[in-house]
Amino acid sequence: MLKRAITRRRLIMLFIILFAIWMLFLDDFNIFRQMTLSNKIQTMEEQKQYYQNEIKHDSAMIRTLQTNLDSLEKYAREKFLMKREHEDIFQVIEKE
């Protein structure tokens, strides 16, 4: 009877070990895949935060440009190299 109990415990332990190995390494959602997916999620969350900040910044810039024509002209001159008639633009490039 004692021998049967020991055999039963060994069988249960063997089953638990095999199940753990299966779940950790052989399953479709094994621990390595879970870690990879977790890293991807973290990267995407950081990108999401970056783009949300960019949207806030751009929205503030749009509001500023819509209300203030002087800042609109300044922005157009700086970013798009726009100019008035009879005006020349010189672009200065710094060497590193």
Per-residue model confidence (pLDDT) at position 1: 64
Q: pLDDT digits over 14-32, tens only?
A: 999 998 888 777 777 778 8
Q: pLDDT digits over 75-84, tens only?
A: 888 888 777 7
d(CA 2, CA 23): 31
Long-range contacts of 7-10 (CB under 8 A, 24+ apart): none
Closest CA to 63 of 51, 74, 71, 52: 71
pTM of the model as a whole: 0.56
CA dihedral 61, 66, 71, 77 (to 10 degrees): 90
The two structure tokens encoding residue 38: 């977790």
Q: pLDDT digits over 28-63, tens only?
A: 777 888 899 999 999 999 999 999 999 999 999 888
